[in-house]
Every structure is written in structure tokens, then in C-alpha cells.
Amino acid sequence: MADRKPIESWLTDMDGVLIHEGVPIPGADAFLKKLRESGRPFLVLTNNSIYTPRDLHARLRRMGLDVPIDNIWTSALATAQFLDDQRPGGTAYVIGEAGVTTALHDIGYILTDHEPDYVVLGETRTYSFEAMTKAVRLINDGARFICTNPDETGPSTEGPLPATGAVAALITKATGKQPYFAGKPNPLMMRTGLNTIGAHSETSAMIGDRMDTDVLAGMEAGMQTFLVLTGLTRPEQVENFPYRPSQVVDSIADLVDRI
């Protein structure tokens, strides 16, 4: 097998890699600082579609992590890019927060509940029965079903919360229609992200804390993959999967010298 080319650009997940429960993981600041100083293209990715890149920039800044707005890539942005490629200037009924509604507004989409081209399901902390019922009826009437990400639960200080994937399963059960998921592990999110920074998968790496989303998406997009053990995946769980990361490291601190 031919040797991999040197890594010239980096993609990294946010939760579990750079931060954990609102606190920076040791080494995250040094990693981001070295990336900025190197001038290498990079993106911080998240499947969470609640926040806009500007929101996330401000939240990270308050934690002491400086990530420029243009270096943040969310599942909401990937969803908007996908819809813009598929059906420019279309219409959508959206269940979600500012992250996804702003992304769709920015590509020129009209948000409506009158015969929309798409029903777009994103993350929100206020899923309503009324909104889900409307989504079911619109999909039954012919709207195409799109989800920002397949995550079934999300973290909170009180414990797991139902997330987009769980609500999508409810709508699928009611309609018989499976959604298209734009976020990880769909390599589409990686490829569109790479395109935004002018990077190529052969010379790019993905850092994540989950085998079933970060590593899988990076691998299927043709990138080198690094699994960190500061998030959800434990060392003994790696062997449970039929694929492996390029390398397992303790934390983001172990990759600072790789830049």
C-alpha cells in the first residue's frame, strides 16, 4: 500500500475533541493556535444544527478558544449546501433553530408550510407535537424529507436528550418515508466542508471522538482519521467496529506536533 501524503488540512469535531460539557479539553487551545499560525486550512465541525457559526464562534471564544467564523462547519450548513445544489431557490418547512433557518435563508430558500419542496428537520430543545404533525402531513402530501443529522440523543448536564434522529424515527414511522441525513456520518458533510476550504481528501485528516460518525465519515470521504479518547468512545470499543481509525490517541494534545 502506498504511503499516505502529508497532512495539509485538518477537520476536527468539536464536542468531545475540543470541549467537553462546556469546558475546553487540555491541548485544544494549543492545537487551534498552531493551526492558525501555520496557515493550513482547517474546519471545526459539529452535527449540532441549533447554532449559527457566529453563535458557535462566540461560545467558543467565551471558553478561551479562538475559531474564526469561516472555520466552523455545521450540519445545518451542509444541509443548506445540499439543498442549494439539488433545488436552488426552493421552499422548505423547517423544524429547528437559528442554525438551520439562517443557513436556508442565506441560500435564498423560502420557509413556508404551504406545499414546500422539503421538510427539513433539525435540532431544537422545543420539539412540538403540532410541528411534528404538520411535518407528517406535508411529507404525506409529497414534500421530501431531509434531516440535518442522525444523532438520536444529545448531551446535557442532566443526561441524554432526544435529538434529531429520534424525532426523525417518529416521523418515519408515521409516514413510511426515510429521510436523507446530510450530517455525519454522511461523507457529504466532509466533502462539502473540504470544498469550502479548498482542501483535498488525500491530504486531509479528520479528528473525532466517535467511531460511528466522525471516523466513519472521515474514512468514507478518503481522509486519514484520528480517534481521541476524550469523548464518547472508549479504547475497548474500537474493536467492536468493522473499520478502524488511522490512529487512536489519548487527546487532541497528542496531535499538536503533527501540524
- List the beta bridge partners of residue 207: 12, 226
Compute the distance between CA of residue 86 and CA of residue 83 in angstroms, rounded to an integer.
Answer: 5
The residue annotated as part of the active site, out of 15, 29, 209, 214, is: 15
CA dist., res. 45 & res. 43, Å (int)? 6
Which is catalytic among the residues 13, 117, 151, 214? 13
Alpha carbon distance 3, 202 (integer Å):
11
Distance CA 192, CA 186 (A): 11
Among 233, 221, 154, which Cα is nearest to 186's? 221
13 is catalytic: yes
Contact criterion met (CB below 8 Å) for 134 and 106: no
Closest CA to 148 of 188, 197, 91, 90: 188
What residues act catalytically?
13, 15
